[in-house]
Every structure is written in C-alpha cells, then in structure tokens.
C-alpha cells in the first residue's frame, strides 16, 4: 500500500460499526484478543471520563469501544 493511501485510510477509515463496549479493562482485553485470534481487523477507542471528586486525581470511568468493518460484523459477533 502506498504511503498516501495509508494516510488517507488512517484519517478516513471505511465504515466502522461499534461491536463491543465495556467499562472493564479485563473484558475489553478478552474481546480484543478474540478478534485478533480470529483475524478480524478492528479499531479501539478508549475514553477516560473523570467523575466527581476524582477530577483532580485522574481516576474515573473509562469506556472501551471496539469497532469493526461492516463486512466483518457477522464474524466478529460470532467470536464475541
């Protein structure tokens, strides 16, 4: 793949579907490893949100999302 196409795909990926959401790092790691072992290409999005008093300590809720391409949705759901 040429570099220009790689950069384009990085910033403008194909249509992605949210396949998994968790607030637990262990379940996220298990789901991610299942997708990797099944050969499913995916993207991760990790969002950390400070809550209440924990705003200054950096602790709070962390949301883990996994996205897959539309054509891989069925296979990914079977793996998860």
- 44, part of any domain: yes
Q: Is the pLDDT of residue 2 over 90?
A: no
- 10, part of any domain: no
Quote the domain boundaries for residue 52: 15-79
Looking at the 3D structure of the chain, how many domains does it have? 1
Tens digits of per-residue pLDDT, 25-71? Answer: 999 999 999 999 999 999 999 988 776 665 555 566 899 999 999 88
Largest CA distance in the chain: 48
- 1, part of any domain: no
Measured CA to CA in angstroms, residue 4 lies from 7, 9, 12, 16, 29 at distances of 5, 9, 12, 21, 31
Q: Which of 65, 76, 71, 78 is nearest to 14 (CA)?
A: 71
The CATH number covering residue 67 comes to 3.30.70.1370
- 9, part of any domain: no
- 2, part of any domain: no
- 58, part of any domain: yes
């Amino acid at each position: 793949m040429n570099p220009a196409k790689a950069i384009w795909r990085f910033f403008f990926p194909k249509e992605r579907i949210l396949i998994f959401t968790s607030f637990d790092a262990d379940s996220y790691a298990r789901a991610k490893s299942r997708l990797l072992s099944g050969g499913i290409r995916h993207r991760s999005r990790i969002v950390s949100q400070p809550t209440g008093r924990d705003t200054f300590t950096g602790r709070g809720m962390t949301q883990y999302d996994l996205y897959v391409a539309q054509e891989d949705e069925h296979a990914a759901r079977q793996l998860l």
